[in-house]
Structure 1
Amino acid sequence: MRRHAVLATVLALGCGGGRASQTPVPQTLSQALDQFLGAVKANDLNRMSQLWGTDRGPAADWMQPGDLRKKLTVIQIYLNHTGYRVVEGPIAAPANPNVRTFRVELQHRDCNHVQPIDLMRTRSGGWLVFDVHLEASSNPAGPCQPSGNRP
C-alpha cells in the first residue's frame, strides 16, 4: 500500500504539465504595458519573459530558455528607451477580441518614435505583451528615425 502511495506521488509530480509561473500575470492592460516597458528600460530579460507571451501565458512558462533569451534580447535592443507615453489605445483588434493595440511614443536621446504594441488576454484573464511590431521600429544601430520618416 505504501509503495502505491509513493508511486502516485511521483507520477503526480512528473505530470505537472510544465513550469508554473512564479509571478502573477498583470490583470490590467496598463499594468502589463507599464511593467513590460519598465523591464525593457531596465534590461531585465527575466521580467520581460514573464510579461511577454500569448493566451497560453508568459513565454517563460512554455518557450525554450535559449530561444526566449535571443528573442527578448532583440526586443530589448529595438525598444530601449529613456521614457514613453501612450499616444493611442487601447484599440480593439478586429480579428481577435482578446487583443488590444497601443501606439506608444518611445523617447530616445535624439528623437521620439511611435511604436505599435499589441497585448493579449491570457486564458487565465490577465494581460501580456504579445507583439511589439519590430517591423515598425527604427534600426537601433543607425540614427534615430522619428515615426513616418523611414525610407
Structure 2
Amino acid sequence: MFVTACSSATRAGNSGQLTGASAPKLAAEQFLRAVKANDLQAMSTVWGTQNGPARETMERTSMEKREIILVCYLTHDTSRVVAEAQGSEGRRDIRVELKRGNLTRQTTFYTIRGPRDRWYVENVDIAAVRDFCGNPGTSAGR
C-alpha cells in the first residue's frame, strides 16, 4: 500500500519559505521529524512531487486527510536511515528503520527532486509499517 503526493496543478507559493530539503536523506528525516511532532504543516513542506511541496500542489482538505493517514502509519519512537539507493527516473529510495514500542520495521521513502533543486518525499511504502497504525507497540514483533 502506498500513499503518494498528487499534483493536479501547481500553485505558486507566496510564503517565501524554502520548502523541501537539500538532499534526499534529509527530506526523509525532516518528514519523519514532522510526523513524530504530529505537525501536518511541516509535513506539507517536505512531502510533494517534482512540481513542489504538497501544500502548493494539493487541495488542502485532501492533503490533510492523507497526512493524517501517514501519521498513523509512521508514528514512531525512533528512526534511522539504513540505506539510500538510486530509484527510477532520478528518484532516490531511502530505506528507514522505525521503532515503536517493541515493534521494529523497515520501510522505503521514495524521494524526488523538485523546483530549485529541493528534494521531496513523494511516496512511502506504508504496507511495511501497517501494524504501527492503531498499535501502541505492545504486540510481538516479527
TM range (shorter): 0.7 to 0.9
Aligned counterpart, 2:124: 132
Give the TM-score taking structure 2 as reference length. 0.81
Structure 2 gap segments, 5+ residues each:
1-9
- From 57, 79, 82, the counterpart of 2:74: 79
| Structure 1 residue 145: Cα displacement | 6.7
Q: State the distance in 2 between where 1:144 and 1:138 align.
A: 13
**Alignment partner of 1:32 is 2:27:** yes
| Structure 1 residue 128: Cα displacement | 0.6
| Structure 1 residue 102: Cα displacement | 1.2
- From 24, 49, 53, the counterpart of 1:54: 49
1:1-151 alignment runs, 5 A limit: 18-20=11-13, 22=15, 23-24=17-18, 25-89=20-84, 91-93=85-87, 95-97=88-90, 99-139=91-131, 140-142=133-135, 146=141, 149=142
Give the TM-score taking structure 1 as reference length. 0.77
| Structure 1 residue 28: Cα displacement | 1.6
Aligned counterpart, 1:10: none
Length, aligned pairs only: 128
Q: State the distance in 2 between where 1:53 and 1:144 align.
A: 33
The residue type paired with residue 53 of structure 2 is P
RMSD, aligned CA: 1.8
Q: Which has the larger radius of gyration?
A: 1
| Structure 1 residue 19: Cα displacement | 4.2
Q: State the distance in 1 between where 2:100 and 2:113 align.
A: 29
